[in-house]
Amino acid sequence: QSALTQPPSASGSPGQSVTISCTGTSSDVGGYNYVSWYQQYPGKAPKFMIYEVSKRPSGVPDRFSGSKSGNTASLTVSGLQAEDEADYYCSSYAGSNNFVVFGGGTKLTVL
């Protein structure tokens, strides 16, 4: 069982927006602004999409945005495109004992 809770699946039609949640506790998501998001295609390595809750690395489209409220972080994908269909994982710093914890992943389907 993953430390952070994500919905197993999410979906949307091309052009629409979809939001994926990532719920933790005050010991991880709620306690630090160190939430990251990763995109992973089947059989491939994860790709770095968001860091420090809402910052985008260079090269990541601005269709991807992150936010946080309390113990829940969110990833929003706007203007859905077919290439956005992938698994998405959130992670958070969880202190020196647990270091980094992940969500179980959300499979995003573009209808």
The residues binding another protein (CB under 8 A) are 2, 32, 34, 36, 38, 40, 44-48, 51-52, 57, 89, 91-93, 96, 99-105
Residue 68: both structure tokens together: 């946080």
**Minimum CB–partner distance for residue 102 and another protein (Å):** 5
The residue type found at 2 is S
Closest C-alpha among 88, 109, 101, 100 to residue 20: 88
Q: Which is nearer to another protein, 14 or 48 (CB)?
A: 48
Give the ranges where 1-111 is alpha helix by DSSP (H).
95-98
Based on CB atoms, which residue is closest to another protein, 44 or 83?
44
